[in-house]
Amino acid sequence: MTDAITLYHNPRCSKSRATLELLRTQGYEPHIIEYLKEPPSETELAAILRLLGLKPRELMRKKEVEYQQEKLADPELKDKDLIRAMHEHPRLIERPIVLARGKAALGRPPEAVLKIL
Active-site positions?
Answer: 13
Task: Single out the residue of 93, 88, 97, 84 nearest to residue 32, CA to CA.
Answer: 97
2, exposed or middle or buried, with CB in 10 Å at 0-12, 13-18, 19+? exposed
Q: What are phi and psi of 9, to 5 degrees?
A: -125, 145
CB 60 within 8 A of CB 94: yes
